[in-house]
């Protein structure tokens, strides 16, 4: 769908992961570059103020970093149907893991060295080759290590289903989702996936007597958008990209790099062997940016998220109708 949209002269908004295979993802990016069109991948955590702050604090903790992130979803009814449809093409460790691997890459700014993963098929309602639970372990060339876990289904535990923290020589930072720990909040709730009520910051420095020099602190999230608010932030960014106000070169490179890692993890999960990663990151290039003639929001329709796609499109149309007219930009010279 994305290739057809770009070939027809439309800009494209694609949900993550960009594709279920690396060559397909690279082909979509290449098509966007060739067409001079905006291609935005819906990595919602990149527009979340608390998550960007989480990454920023993580970078101050020294190296190496230890990063622990999970999202297990106890789903039933319509939510389980969505997850079953998703697993027709991708495993939880790919679909959810691409978010958290991207966060790890942002925090470390290091090259991945190796990834290992394990998984399990906990239900007979998915294909024999598919798993509905998995966890990966990734090592970076600066010594940092990350763990990511994701599982879907009616059997999943809701104990510790939302763990998000980074630990370094100087201390740690954790996302504290207070509502997620209370009654009435389900692990399958979209808002619970991104909710970050506060950041808990721990300082490791000790005095001469071995006591902590400074107490831990809590940063309350003052700007905490819900799922719809985050979708609107994504669509605002998409609109800016269409107008040529945002260079998406790094955005595309990051989407490809994170996808490469989780697909390698999926391979490791199926073979039982660690995968050595040959991280090839392209240098900065400035793409040609021009006016737009059409927009297509692209989603894997077989995955059951059509309602989310329709919401994204409605938000975009509303933003576009209330914004200033699009002006034609002169293309950047090729470097």
The answer to whether 219 and 201 have CB atoms below 8 angstroms apart is yes
pLDDT of residue 316: 66
Beta strands in the chain (DSSP E): 11-15, 39-42, 66-74, 112-120, 133-140, 145-153, 164-168, 171-176, 198-203, 217-220, 275-276, 295-298
Structural tokens at position 278? 């040959």
Average pLDDT, the chain: 84
**Percentage of residues in the chain having pLDDT higher than 90:** 70
pLDDT band for 274, please (50, 70, 90 cuts). Answer: very high
- Helix and strand totals (H; E) in the chain: 10, 12
* Residue 250 to residue 109: CA distance in whole angstroms: 13
For residues 256-265, average pLDDT? 96
Contact residues for 245 (Cβ-Cβ < 8 A; gap 6+): none
pLDDT of residue 219: 92
**pLDDT beyond 80 at 5:** yes
Q: How far, in Å, are 18, 239, 244, 252, 319 from residue 285 at the CA level?
A: 20, 21, 15, 11, 29
* Residue 38 to residue 10: CA distance in whole angstroms: 8
pTM here? 0.81
**pLDDT beyond 70 at 185:** no
pLDDT of residue 72: 94
Task: Enter the CATH code of domain 2-322.
Answer: 3.30.360.10
The answer to whether 189 and 165 have CB atoms below 8 angstroms apart is no
Every domain of the chain and the residues it spans: 2-322
pLDDT of residue 317: 66
**pLDDT beyond 90 at 165:** yes
Task: Looking at mean pLDDT, say which of 96-110, 165-179, 221-235, 320-334 comes out highest.
Answer: 96-110
Rg (CA), the chain: 20
What pairs with residue 199 in β-bridges?
A: 175, 219
pLDDT band for 225, please (50, 70, 90 cuts). Answer: confident
């Amino acid at each position: 769908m994305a290739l057809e949209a770009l070939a027809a002269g439309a800009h494209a908004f694609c949900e993550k992961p960009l594709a279920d295979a690396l060559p397909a993802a690279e082909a979509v990016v290449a098509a966007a570059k060739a067409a001079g069109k905006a291609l935005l991948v819906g990595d919602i955590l990149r527009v979340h103020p608390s998550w960007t702050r989480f990454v920023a604090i993580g970078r101050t903790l020294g190296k190496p970093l230890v990063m622990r992130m999970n999202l297990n979803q106890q789903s039933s009814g319509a939510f389980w149907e969505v997850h079953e449809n998703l697993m027709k093409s991708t495993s939880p460790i790919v679909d959810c893991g691409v978010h958290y691997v991207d966060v790890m890459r942002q925090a470390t700014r290091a090259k991945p060295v190796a990834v290992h993963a394990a998984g399990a098929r906990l239900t007979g309602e998915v294909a024999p080759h598919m798993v509905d639970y998995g966890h990966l372990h990734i090592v970076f060339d600066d010594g940092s290590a990350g763990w990511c876990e994701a599982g879907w289904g009616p059997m999943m535990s809701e104990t510790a289903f939302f763990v998000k923290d980074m630990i370094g020589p100087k201390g740690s930072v954790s996302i504290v989702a207070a509502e997620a720990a209370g009654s009435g909040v389900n692990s399958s709730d979209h808002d619970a996936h991104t909710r970050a009520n506060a950041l808990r910051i721990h300082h490791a420095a000790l005095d001469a007597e071995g006591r902590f020099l400074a107490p831990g602190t809590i940063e309350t999230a003052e700007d905490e958008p819900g799922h719809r608010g985050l979708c609107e932030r994504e669509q605002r960014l998409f609109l800016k990209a269409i107008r040529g106000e945002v260079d998406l070169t790094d955005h595309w490179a990051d989407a490809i790099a994170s996808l490469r890692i989780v697909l390698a993890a999926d391979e490791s999960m199926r073979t039982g062997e660690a995968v050595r990663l040959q991280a090839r990151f392209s240098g900065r290039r400035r793409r040609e940016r021009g006016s737009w003639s059409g927009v297509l929001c692209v989603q894997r329709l077989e995955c059951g998220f059509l309602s989310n796609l329709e919401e994204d499109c409605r938000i975009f149309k509303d933003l576009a109708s209330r914004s200033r007219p699009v002006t034609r930009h002169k293309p950047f010279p090729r470097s």
